[in-house]
Amino acid sequence: MNKQTIFNWPVRVYFQDTDAGGVVYHASYVNFMERARTEWLRTHGYSNAGLMKEFGVVFVVRSMKLDYLKPALLDDMLEVSAQVKEIGRSRLTLVQTVRRGEELLTQGEVHLVCVALESFKPVSVPEALRSQWKDVE
């Protein structure tokens, strides 16, 4: 896929993430992945607020494809990953997974677009970030 290091973020499953039977709602995985992407971005020196302030841009989700393989449960300690798969002029594709230990629970591909904050029209990914992701094959 690429030479980028896989970023992992720990997530505990809380009651609010589950149904009455203690099984994680399908939509909660989207939230878990969003948290991991936000923290992954921080490892590259930028918060979402920082991107808005410094460059006038924000990354928005264009599409995502998720495969739910096994359920996560109340109180599980999960590891949510994010890894760059592809980078284009204004788009970024990430592969994300949710694991409980070695067990793969959910996997997905998230397509992001870098947009201008004022117009929400696609713009180039800031060079400060692109240069950090340049070794994506």
Give me the active site residues, please. 19
CA separation for the pair 58, 52 (Å, rounded): 6
Burial of 11 (0-12, 13-18, 19+ CB in 10 A): buried
Q: What is the distance between the alpha carbons of residues 47 and 134, in angstroms, rounded to a whole number?
A: 20
Question: For residues 57 and 123, is the Cβ–Cβ distance under 8 A?
Answer: yes
| 43 token code pair | 């490892």
